[in-house]
C-alpha cells in the first residue's frame, strides 16, 4: 500500500461515515411515521418497480424525461466504474473482471457510451433550467444552486473518468474513449509518460465522488436513494380509496393529520423521494388557475418542516410530540383548494401522494376543530339532515322516477340491478334528465332494475373528501344496511363519485357489490346487441368531444367506454381535448369543491371550458353530474351557451334509441 | 357566569308536510329533528360568552323524547349540561304554558344570562323567551344582532325600523338572537363522542309543581291548511305588456310581496 | 269591555300601526266593544290626526322625547294599568320586531294567550286568527278560548280602512318614572343602502342575462319601487358584475322571501338551493327551456330588459 492508497482509504472511510450518519438520521426521521411499510403483493410491486422505476415509465411521459432516462441508466453504469475505480485506488490493480467476461465487458461498454449520453443530457438539462426555465422547476434560489452543484459534480466526474480511460484503456469495446484517444494521441498512449495526468484525473475524480457522497443526502438528490424504494412501497390499494379512520378506537387521541408524525412512514419517505421535478404542479388544476396550492410545495414544505422539527422529535419520540402543521406548513388556502383530481399522483414519477396528505390534514381540521369553509359546512349539515348537499327533502328523493314505470326495491326487490340515482340524479333538474335517459335505456334493453327511491342516501363522497370521515362512515353503514336488506348485488350508478365510493370504499365496511358505471353498461348493452341505437347522433351535433371525469378516468380507468359509446354512433366525429384521458383536466368540483366558493385566481371550470371552446366542438359529452354542472357554468361564463351543448352520454344514446 | 340557553327541537322545514284527516294536525313523514336554527345562534353566542369569561352553559328544553337528539347536539357543540322537561304532549302546549314550564326550571338555576332564538321555526310563536323573562322579572331584549360583554354589563344591538339601537343590559337578563349574530360552530368528533356519554337531566311537570291549570291552553286550533306545496309552474301568455299586467294583478290579489 | 290597539312606538306613525288599528276597529265593531288606543313615545303632534276614522274612542298618549323606543320596563306597567282601567279584553298590536316584543311581555304579565304575526283576524263569538307556521308552509286557524286575548298583525298584509266618523278623545298622561330602566345608549338610524338579503320580503335577482354590470339599474329600480333587496346568481358574481354579498345559492346566501323575482337566471340546482324557500317565485327569462321555468310559480318568457321596466312601471302605479 502506498501513501496514496492510504489517503484514499482514510478519505473514503470519512466520507462513507458522513454518508451513513446522515442516512441513518433520515431513516430515523422516516421511522417517526405511523404504521409499517406496506410489503404485500410483492410480485406486483416488483413489476411496478421494473416498469415505473427502471423503465422510467412516468418520467418518459414528457420528452424531457428522455434525458433523465439516460442520466438514470448512465448513473447505474458509471457507479459500477466508480466503485471499481475507488477500490482499485486502495487495492492496486483491483477489477471487477472476476464477474465474468461478457458482463464485465458489457459494463465497461455501458460506462463508456452512457457517459456520453449523460454529458449530453446534462447539457440539455442545464439549458432547460437556465435558458428555458420551465415553471414547474421554479423554487427557492438554493434549489437552483443545488441543481447546479450536482450537475457540475457529475459533469466533472464524467470528464475525469473519460480522461482516465483515454490514458489507461479498459478491456472491451469502449468506442467513445477509443475515438478520443485516436483524436488526441493518434493511437496508443504510453500510460507511463502520462502518469501524472492520470493521477490528477484519478484524484479529482475521487475527490468529486467523496464530495458527492457527503453532499447528496443534504440535497434534493436524496431521491437517488429513495425514489426506487418509494415506487416499490407505493400503496397497492384502489386509487379511489381514502381509507376509513378507526373512529371506534378509544385510545386514539386525535383523528386525521395534526402533526408531521401522524403521517405514515411511507408518507414521510415520500418527502425524501421528491426530486422537485414539478410534474405534479404542472398538472394541478388549482396551481394552474392561480391558487396558492402546489402539490410540490406541499411536499417541500412538509420535508422542510420534518428536517427542522426532526432533531427535537427524535429526542422526544416517546411522547410523540409534534407541532401542528396547520397553518404554518400547510395553510388554509392550500388545504381547501384541492379538487382531489388525482392529477398530481398520476403525474409523479416516483409514487408520491400529495393529495392523500391534504385529505389527512382536512380530516384533522374538520373532525378535531370543526374548522372548514362555511359553505362546505352548510352542505354537510344538509347531508346530515336530508342526506343531500342541497338540503332538499329526503321524502322527494324518489320523485324523479314518478310516472316512468320504475319500481322501488321496496315494491319489488326481485331484480338484477339497483339503479343508484345519487343526489344529483335525484334532485338536480338537469341531471334528472340523465337519470331518466338511463332508465329509458335500461327499460329498452329489458334490464330488470329497481331504485331505492326515498330510501336512498348520499354515498358520502363529498363528506369524506372534505374530511368528515364520521359522517361518511355513517352514510356508508346506513346505505349498506339498506342494500343488504334488499339483497342488492349489482349497482348501476350515473355519478362517478357515487361509483368510486360504492366500488372502492364500501368494501371497507363489508359492502362488496358489483358496481357498474352507466357508460360501461351502455357499451356492454350495445356490444351484446341488447341495445340498438340508430346510427346517428342528433342532427345538430357535428363535432363532439368527451370530457373525462377525474373519478371515472384517472381514479377508475374508465376512459374507453364513454368514447366507445360515442364512436358507436355513426356520423360522430370525436375530437379529443388537449388534455384527455389520464391527463384530463378537472372541472373543479371534486373533493367537496362543488360546495365551496372559488375566490382565488381563474375558476377551474372556466379554464376547462375555454379548452373546450378552443377545440371548436358543438357538443361536450360528459358522464358525471358535477362535470356537467361545472362545465355548464363555465361555458355560460364564457358566453357560449348558444354554441356549445353539454350532454351526458346516456342522453345521447337515449335520443338515438 | 352562568348561562342558560333555551332550545327547541323542531322538524327540519325541508320536510314534507301534510295535513291530518281531521284538519287539525300536521303530519310529517319520517321527520328529521333539528335544533331550531335561531337557537343555534343563541347557543353559539352563549358558548362564545362562556369562552371569554369562563362559566357554564346549561341548555334547557321542553319537549318529547325526540328532543333528546337535539340536546345531544347542543352538548356536542359546547353546552356543559342539559335539562329536558319531558312531556309526550308537549306539542299541545301554547306559549303561555311552555314559558311557565321553562321559567320554573330556570328559577332553580339562577343564571346571569339567558339566550334564546328569536323564534322557533315550527310554530313560529315568537313569545316564549320574552314571557320567561317577564315571569322571572328580569329585563330582556329581542332579536339582538350584536352582543358584547363589558364587565358586569353587556352592550347589545337590536334592529329597529330604519336602523338599530344599542342598549346597555344589566344582568340577569334574557336576549333573543337574530340570524347572523354569529356563525354557529360545527361540532368536533371528540365533543360528539363526549356528548354521547353526558347525562341529560330529565324533569317532569310534577317535579316543577306545575298543575294542569297552570299550563292549560287558552287557544284551540280550528283547522290547519297547506297554502300549497308545489310550485304553480304557470307560464303567463299573451303580449309582454299583457303578461306583466297579469302578473301585477296576481301579486295584488294574492297580496304577494306588497 | 274594550279593545286596546297598540300604536307602534316609532316617533312616526307607520302604516303597520294603521293596519293594526284597522283590524282593531273591525273587531270592535263585530264584538261591539269600545276601541281604545295607546301611544308611548316621542311627541306625535299633528300625526295624531291620522288616527281619525278608525272609531277610536280614546287615545291615551304618553309622550316623552326620552322614550324613543319601546322599553318593556317602561311600557309594560303602563299597559297593565290600562287593561284594568278600561276593562280591556283584546289587545291588538303590529308584528314588527318591537311590536312582537311588547305583545309577548304584556301577554306574560296578564297570563293571556298571544298569537303573533296574524294574517287574518276575525270575531265569531270570540277572537279568531290565522297565522302561518312552519316557515309559512302551513296556515293555522286558531280561536281564543280565554280572555284577555292578544294578537299582533303581520305588517303589509291587511288593508288600512277608515270607515268611522268622529275624532278620538285624546288623553295625555305623564310618562311614569321608572328608576331602573334599561338604558338605551344610542339609536343609529342609518339609511341602509338596500335591504338585507336574508331578511328581505321581496328579492329581485339577476343572472347572466343581465349582460353586464352597467345594467343593474334596471333591476335596482324595481327593487326601489318594491322595497326589495337585490340578489344575484353565482355566474353574475363570478363575472365580476356585482359583489359576492349579493350572491344567492348553495355557496352564497340562502334566502326565504315572500316573493322572488328571478331575472335572466337559468336556475340550475346550485342557485335553487339558495332560493327554494321563497314563497312565490316569478321567473323572467328569454330562454323558454331555462330550468327556472320548471320550478317557478309565474313565468314570463321574454327579454328582461323589456319585461322588468314594464313591471317597474306597473308596480309603481300599483303601489302609489
| A512 and A594 belong to one structural domain | no
Q: What is the mean pLDDT of residues B146-151?
A: 91
User: Is A385 within 8 Å of B14 when comparing Cβ atoms?
Assistant: yes
| A18 and A102 belong to one structural domain | yes
Chain A residues with beta carbon closer than 8 angstroms to that of C269? 390, 424, 427-431, 629
* Residue B223 to residue B202: CA distance in whole angstroms: 33
C218: CATH: 3.40.50.1220
| C254 and C310 belong to one structural domain | yes
Q: How many domains does chain A have?
A: 4
pLDDT at C189 > cutoff 70: no
| C153 and C102 belong to one structural domain | yes
| A303 and A344 belong to one structural domain | yes
pLDDT tens profile A174-194: 899 888 888 888 877 776 778
Q: What is the mean pLDDT of residues C116-131?
A: 95
Q: Could you tell me the pLDDT band of residue C46, with boundaries at 50, 70 and 90?
A: confident
Domain region containing A213: 3-233
Q: What is the mean pLDDT of residues C134-160?
A: 91
A429: CATH: 3.40.50.1860
pLDDT tens profile A233-258: 998 889 999 999 999 887 888 899 99
| A509 and A559 belong to one structural domain | no
Chain B residues with beta carbon closer than 8 angstroms to that of A410? none
User: Is C115 within 8 Å of B96 when comparing Cβ atoms?
Assistant: no
| C202 and C167 belong to one structural domain | no
Give A93's DSSP letter: T
A335 close to A361: Cβ distance less than 8 angstroms: yes
Residue A283 within a domain? yes
> What pLDDT score was predicted for residue A252?
82
Q: What is the mean pLDDT of residues B55-69?
A: 95
For residue B89, give how far its alpha carbon lies from the nearest alpha carbon of chain C (Å). 18
Question: Based on the number of CB atoms within 10 Å of its own CB, is C248 exposed (0-12), middle (13-18) or buried (19 or more)?
Answer: buried
Which one of A343, A372, A401 terminates a domain? A372
Taking any CB pair shorter than 8 Å as contact, residues of chain A touching chain B are: 247, 254-255, 366-372, 374, 377, 380-381, 385-386, 391-396, 454, 470
Q: Could you tell me the pLDDT band of residue C176, with boundaries at 50, 70 and 90?
A: confident
| C236 and C315 belong to one structural domain | yes
| Nearest CA among A474, C311, C55, C152 for reference residue B236 | C311
Q: Which of residues 188-227 of B touch A (CB under 8 A)?
A: 188-190, 192
Chain B residues with beta carbon closer than 8 angstroms to that of C302? 240, 243
> What pLDDT score was predicted for residue B255?
80
Residue A601 within a domain? yes
Residue A532 within a domain? no
Q: Could you tell me the pLDDT band of residue A573, with boundaries at 50, 70 and 90?
A: confident
pLDDT at A78 > cutoff 70: yes
| A210 and A276 belong to one structural domain | no
Q: Which of residues 207-226 of C touch A (CB under 8 A)?
A: 208
Residue C179 within a domain? no
By Cβ distance, the residue of C268, C273, C276 closest to A632 is C268
C263 close to C230: Cβ distance less than 8 angstroms: no
Q: What is the mean pLDDT of residues A71-76?
A: 87
User: Is C269 within 8 Å of A424 when comparing Cβ atoms?
Assistant: yes
In percent, the amount of chain A with pLDDT more than 70 equals: 98
User: Is A394 within 8 Å of B192 when comparing Cβ atoms?
Assistant: no
> What pLDDT score was predicted for residue C191?
46
User: Is A389 within 8 Å of C250 when comparing Cβ atoms?
Assistant: yes
* Residue C135 to residue B13: CA distance in whole angstroms: 7
C16: CATH: 3.40.50.620
More confident residue, A593 or A311: A593
> What pLDDT score was predicted for residue C194?
56
| A339 and A195 belong to one structural domain | no
Q: Which of A146-160, A438-452, B20-34 has the highest mean pLDDT?
A: A438-452
Q: Could you tell me the pLDDT band of residue B28, with boundaries at 50, 70 and 90?
A: confident
| C99 and C166 belong to one structural domain | yes
* Residue A138: strand, helix, or coil: coil
By Cβ distance, the residue of A378, A430, A633 closest to C235 is A633
Q: What is the mean pLDDT of residues A424-434?
A: 96
pLDDT tens profile A474-491: 999 999 999 999 999 999
* Residue A89 to residue A95: CA distance in whole angstroms: 10
Which one of C173, C207, C228 terminates a domain? C173
For residue A615, give how far its alpha carbon lies from the nearest alpha carbon of chain B (Å). 38
Residue C178 within a domain? no
| A72 and A189 belong to one structural domain | yes
| C146 and C241 belong to one structural domain | no
| A25 and A160 belong to one structural domain | yes
| A83 and A220 belong to one structural domain | yes
Domain region containing C28: 2-173
Chain B contact partners (≥3 CB pairs within 8 A): A, C
Residue A515 within a domain? yes
Q: Which of residues 7-46 of B touch A (CB under 8 A)?
A: 12, 14-16, 29-30, 32, 34
Residue A288 within a domain? yes
Q: How many contacts (CB atoms, under 8 Å) link A and B?
A: 44
Residue A282 within a domain? yes
> What pLDDT score was predicted for residue A174?
87
| C203 and C166 belong to one structural domain | no
Chain B residues with beta carbon closer than 8 angstroms to that of A398? none
C187 close to B163: Cβ distance less than 8 angstroms: yes
In percent, the amount of chain B with pLDDT more than 90 equals: 74
Residue A433: its H or E element: helix A429-444
The alpha-carbon radius of gyration of chain B (Å, integer) is: 21
| C157 and C38 belong to one structural domain | yes
Which one of C139, C157, C173 terminates a domain? C173
A268: CATH: 1.10.1060
| C309 and C272 belong to one structural domain | yes
Residue C69 within a domain? yes
Q: What is the mean pLDDT of residues A513-537?
A: 90
In chain B the domains, ranked by start, together with CATH numbers, are 2-215 (3.40.50.620)
Chain C contact partners (≥3 CB pairs within 8 A): A, B
> What pLDDT score was predicted for residue B111?
96
Q: How many contacts (CB atoms, under 8 Å) link B and C?
A: 245
Q: Which of residues 139-178 of B touch C (CB under 8 A)?
A: 139-143, 155, 158-170
Axis crossing angle, helix A265-273 with helix A223-233, rounded to the nearest 10: 140
pLDDT at A570 > cutoff 90: no
ipTM score assigned to the predicted complex: 0.92
More confident residue, A451 or B160: A451
By Cβ distance, the residue of B29, B34, B190 closest to A368 is B190
> What pLDDT score was predicted for residue A243?
95
| C167 and C98 belong to one structural domain | yes
Q: What is the 3 state secondary structure string of chain B?
A: CEEEEECCEEECCCCCEEECCCCCCEEECCCCEEECHHHHHHHHHHHHHHHHHCCEEEEEEEECCCHHHHHHHHHHHCCCEEEEEECCCHHHCCHHHHHHHHHHHHHHHCCCEEEEECCCCCCCCCCHHHHHHHHHCCEEEEEEEEEEEECCEEEEEEEECCEEEEEEEECCEEEEECCCCCCCCCCCHHHHHHHHHCCEEEECCCCCCCCHHHHCCCEEEEEEECCCCCCCCEECCCCHHHHHHHHHHHHHHCCCCC
Residue C185 within a domain? no
Which one of A527, A559, A576 terminates a domain? A527
Which residue in A373, A597, A601, A630 has the most chain C C-beta atoms within 10 A of its own C-beta, making it the best mutation to test that interface?
A597
> What average pLDDT does chain A have?
91
pLDDT tens profile C222-249: 999 998 999 999 989 988 899 988 999 9
> What pLDDT score was predicted for residue B162?
64
Which one of C157, C173, C189 terminates a domain? C173
Distance of CA C197 to the CA centre of its chain: 15
Cα–Cα–Cα angle for A60, A65, A70, rounded to 5 degrees:
105
pLDDT tens profile A129-151: 888 877 777 766 767 788 888 88
pLDDT at A318 > cutoff 70: no
| A29 and A115 belong to one structural domain | yes
pLDDT tens profile A601-645: 999 999 999 999 999 999 999 999 999 999 999 999 999 988 999
| C141 and C54 belong to one structural domain | yes
| A478 and A568 belong to one structural domain | no
Q: How many domains does chain C have?
A: 2
Q: Could you tell me the pLDDT band of residue C192, with boundaries at 50, 70 and 90?
A: very low
Cβ of residue C58 closer than 8 Å to a chain A Cβ = no
In percent, the amount of chain A with pLDDT more than 90 equals: 66
| A523 and A558 belong to one structural domain | no
Which one of A185, A215, A233 terminates a domain? A233
Amino acid at each position: 500500500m502506498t501513501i496514496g492508497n492510504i489517503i484514499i482509504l482514510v478519505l473514503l472511510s470519512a466520507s462513507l461515515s458522513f454518508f451513513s450518519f446522515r442516512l441513518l438520521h433520515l431513516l430515523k426521521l422516516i421511522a417517526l411515521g405511523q404504521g409499517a411499510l406496506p410489503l404485500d403483493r410483492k410480485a406486483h410491486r416488483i413489476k411496478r418497480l421494473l416498469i415505473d422505476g427502471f423503465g422510467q415509465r412516468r418520467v418518459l411521459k414528457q420528452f424531457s424525461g428522455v434525458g433523465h432516462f439516460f442520466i438514470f441508466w448512465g448513473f447505474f453504469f458509471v457507479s459500477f466504474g466508480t466503485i471499481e475505480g475507488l477500490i482499485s485506488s486502495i487495492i492496486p490493480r483491483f477489477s471487477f473482471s472476476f464477474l465474468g467476461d461478457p458482463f464485465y465487458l458489457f459494463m465497461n461498454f455501458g460506462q463508456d457510451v452512457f457517459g456520453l449520453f449523460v454529458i449530453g443530457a446534462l447539457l440539455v438539462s442545464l439549458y432547460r433550467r437556465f435558458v428555458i426555465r420551465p415553471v414547474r422547476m421554479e423554487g427557492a434560489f438554493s434549489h437552483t444552486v443545488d441543481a447546479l452543484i450536482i450537475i457540475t459534480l457529475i459533469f466533472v466526474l464524467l470528464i475525469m473518468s473519460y480522461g482516465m480511460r483515454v490514458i489507461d484503456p479498459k478491456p472491451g469495446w469502449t468506442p467513445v474513449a477509443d475515438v478520443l484517444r485516436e483524436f488526441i494521441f493518434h493511437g496508443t498512449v504510453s500510460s507511463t509518460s502520462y502518469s501524472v495526468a492520470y493521477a490528477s484525473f484519478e484524484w479529482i475524480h475521487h475527490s468529486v465522488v467523496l464530495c458527492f457522497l457527503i453532499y447528496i443526502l443534504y440535497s434534493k438528490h436524496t431521491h437517488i436513494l429513495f425514489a426506487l424504494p418509494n415506487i416499490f412501497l407505493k400503496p397497492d390499494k384502489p386509487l379511489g380509496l381514502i381509507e376509513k379512520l378507526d373512529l371506534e378506537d378509544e385510545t386514539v387521541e386525535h383523528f386525521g393529520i395534526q402533526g408531521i408524525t401522524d403521517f405514515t412512514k411511507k408518507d414521510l419517505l415520500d418527502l425524501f423521494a421528491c426530486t422537485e421535478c414539478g410534474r405534479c404542479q404542472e398538472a394541478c388544476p388549482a396551481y394552474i388557475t392561480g391558487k396558492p396550492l402546489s402539490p410540490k410545495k406541499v411536499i417541500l414544505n412538509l420535508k422542510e418542516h420534518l428536517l427542522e422539527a426532526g432533531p427535537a422529535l427524535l429526542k422526544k419520540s416517546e411522547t410523540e410530540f409534534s407541532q401542528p402543521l396547520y397553518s404554518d406548513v400547510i395553510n388554509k388556502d392550500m388545504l381547501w383548494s384541492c379538487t382531489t383530481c388525482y392529477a398530481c399522483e398520476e403525474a409523479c414519477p416516483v409514487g408520491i401522494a400529495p393529495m392523500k396528505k391534504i385529505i389527512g390534514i382536512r380530516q384533522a381540521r374538520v373532525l378535531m376543530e370543526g374548522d372548514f369553509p362555511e359553505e362546505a359546512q352548510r352542505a354537510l349539515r344538509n347531508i346530515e339532515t336530508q342526506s343531500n348537499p342541497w338540503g332538499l327533502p329526503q321524502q322527494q328523493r324518489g320523485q324523479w322516477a314518478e310516472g316512468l314505470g320504475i319500481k322501488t326495491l321496496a315494491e319489488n326487490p326481485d331484480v338484477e340491478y339497483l339503479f343508484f340515482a345519487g343526489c344529483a340524479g335525484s334532485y338536480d333538474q338537469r341531471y334528472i334528465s340523465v337519470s331518466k335517459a338511463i332508465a329509458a335505456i335500461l327499460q329498452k334493453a329489458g334490464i330488470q332494475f329497481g331504485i331505492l327511491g326515498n330510501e336512498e342516501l348520499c354515498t358520502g363522497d363529498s363528506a369524506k373528501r372534505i374530511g368528515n370521515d364520521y359522517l361518511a362512515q355513517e352514510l356508508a353503514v346506513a346505505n349498506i344496511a339498506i342494500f343488504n336488506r334488499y339483497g342488492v348485488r349489482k349497482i348501476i350508478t350515473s355519478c362517478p363519485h357515487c361509483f368510486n365510493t360504492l366500488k372502492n370504499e364500501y368494501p371497507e365496511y363489508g359492502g362488496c357489490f358489483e358496481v357498474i358505471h352507466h357508460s360501461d353498461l351502455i357499451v356492454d348493452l350495445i356490444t351484446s346487441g341488447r341495445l340498438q341505437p340508430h346510427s346517428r347522433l342528433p342532427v345538430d351535433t357535428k363535432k363532439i368531444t368527451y370530457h373525462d371525469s377525474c373519478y371515472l378516468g384517472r381514479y377508475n380507468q374508465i376512459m374507453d367506454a364513454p368514447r366507445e359509446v360515442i364512436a358507436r354512433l355513426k356520423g360522430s366525429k370525436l375530437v379529443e381535448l388537449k388534455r384527455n384521458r389520464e391527463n384530463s383536466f378537472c372541472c373543479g368540483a371534486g373533493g367537496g369543491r362543488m360546495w365551496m366558493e372559488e375566490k382565488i385566481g381563474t375558476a377551474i371550470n372556466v379554464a376547462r371550458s375555454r379548452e373546450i371552446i378552443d377545440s371548436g366542438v358543438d357538443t361536450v359529452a360528459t358522464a358525471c353530474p358535477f362535470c356537467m354542472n361545472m362545465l355548464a357554468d363555465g361555458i355560460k361564463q364564457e358566453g357560449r351557451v348558444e354554441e356549445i351543448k353539454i350532454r351526458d352520454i346516456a342522453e345521447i344514446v337515449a335520443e338515438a334509441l | 357566569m352562568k348561562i342558560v340557553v333555551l332550545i327547541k327541537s323542531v322538524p327540519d322545514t325541508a320536510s314534507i308536510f301534510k295535513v291530518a284527516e281531521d284538519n287539525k294536525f300536521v303530519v310529517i313523514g319520517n321527520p328529521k329533528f333539528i335544533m331550531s336554527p335561531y337557537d343555534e345562534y343563541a347557543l353559539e353566542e352563549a358558548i362564545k360568552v362562556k369562552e371569554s369569561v369562563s362559566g357554564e352553559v346549561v341548555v334547557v328544553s321542553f319537549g318529547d323524547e325526540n328532543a333528546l337528539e337535539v340536546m345531544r347536539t347542543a352538548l356536542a357543540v359546547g353546552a356543559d349540561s342539559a335539562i329536558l322537561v319531558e312531556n309526550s304532549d308537549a306539542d299541545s302546549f301554547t306559549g303561555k304554558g311552555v314559558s311557565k314550564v321553562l321559567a320554573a326550571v330556570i328559577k332553580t338555576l339562577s343564571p346571569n344570562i339567558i339566550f334564546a332564538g328569536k323564534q322557533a321555526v315550527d310554530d313560529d310563536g315568537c313569545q316564549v323567551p320574552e314571557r320567561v323573562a317577564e315571569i322571572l322579572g328580569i329585563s330582556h331584549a329581542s332579536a339582538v344582532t350584536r352582543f358584547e360583554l363589558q364587565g358586569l354589563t353587556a352592550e347589545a344591538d337590536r334592529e329597529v325600523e330604519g336602523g338599530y339601537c344599542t342598549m346597555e343590559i344589566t344582568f340577569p337578563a334574557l336576549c333573543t338572537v337574530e340570524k347572523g349574530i354569529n356563525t354557529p360552530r360545527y361540532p368536533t368528533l371528540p365533543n360528539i363522542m363526549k356528548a354521547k356519554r353526558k347525562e341529560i337531566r330529565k324533569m317532569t311537570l310534577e317535579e316543577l309543581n306545575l298543575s294542569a291549570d297552570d299550563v292549560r291552553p287558552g287557544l284551540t286550533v280550528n283547522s290547519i291548511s297547506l297554502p300549497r306545496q308545489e310550485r304553480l309552474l304557470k307560464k303567463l301568455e299573451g303580449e309582454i305588456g299583457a303578461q306583466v299586467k297579469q302578473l301585477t294583478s296576481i301579486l295584488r290579489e294574492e297580496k304577494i310581496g306588497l | 269591555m274594550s279593545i286596546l290597539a297598540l300604536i307602534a312606538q316609532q316617533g312616526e306613525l307607520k302604516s303597520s300601526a294603521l293596519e293594526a288599528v284597522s283590524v282593531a276597529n273591525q273587531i270592535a265593531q263585530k264584538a261591539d266593544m269600545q276601541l281604545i288606543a295607546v301611544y308611548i313615545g316621542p311627541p306625535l303632534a299633528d300625526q295624531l290626526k291620522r288616527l281619525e276614522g278608525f272609531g277610536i274612542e280614546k287615545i291615551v298618549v304618553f309622550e316623552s322625547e326620552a322614550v324613543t323606543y319601546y322599553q318593556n320596563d317602561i311600557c309594560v306597567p303602563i299597559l297593565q294599568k290600562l287593561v284594568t282601567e278600561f276593562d280591556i279584553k283584546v289587545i291588538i298590536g303590529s308584528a314588527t320586531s318591537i311590536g312582537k316584543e311588547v305583545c309577548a311581555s304584556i301577554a306574560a304579565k296578564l297570563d293571556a294567550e298571544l298569537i303573533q304575526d296574524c294574517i287574518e283576524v276575525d270575531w265569531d263569538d270570540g277572537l279568531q286568527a290565522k297565522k302561518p307556521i312552519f316557515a309559512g308552509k302551513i296556515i293555522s286557524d286558531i280561536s281564543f278560548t280565554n280572555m284577555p286575548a292578544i294578537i299582533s298583525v303581520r305588517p303589509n298584509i291587511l288593508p288600512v280602512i277608515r270607515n268611522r266618523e268622529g275624532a278620538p278623545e285624546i288623553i295625555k298622561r305623564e310618562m311614569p318614572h321608572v328608576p331602573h330602566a334599561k338604558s338605551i345608549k344610542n339609536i343609529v338610524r342609518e339609511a341602509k343602502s338596500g335591504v338585507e338579503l336574508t331578511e328581505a320580503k321581496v328579492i329581485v335577482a339577476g343572472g347572466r342575462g343581465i349582460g353586464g354590470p352597467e345594467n343593474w339599474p334596471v333591476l335596482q329600480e324595481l327593487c326601489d319601487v318594491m322595497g326589495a333587496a337585490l340578489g344575484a346568481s353565482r355566474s353574475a358574481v363570478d363575472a365580476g358584475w356585482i359583489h359576492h354579498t349579493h350572491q344567492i345559492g348553495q355557496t352564497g346566501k340562502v334566502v326565504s322571501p315572500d316573493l322572488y323575482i328571478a331575472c335572466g337566471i337559468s336556475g340550475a340546482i346550485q342557485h335553487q338551493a339558495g332560493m327554494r324557500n321563497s314563497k312565490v317565485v316569478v321567473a323572467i327569462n328569454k330562454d323558454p327551456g331555462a330550468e327556472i321555468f320548471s320550478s317557478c310559480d309565474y313565468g314570463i318568457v321574454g327579454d328582461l330588459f323589456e319585461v322588468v321596466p314594464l313591471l317597474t312601471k306597473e308596480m309603481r302605479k300599483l303601489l302609489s
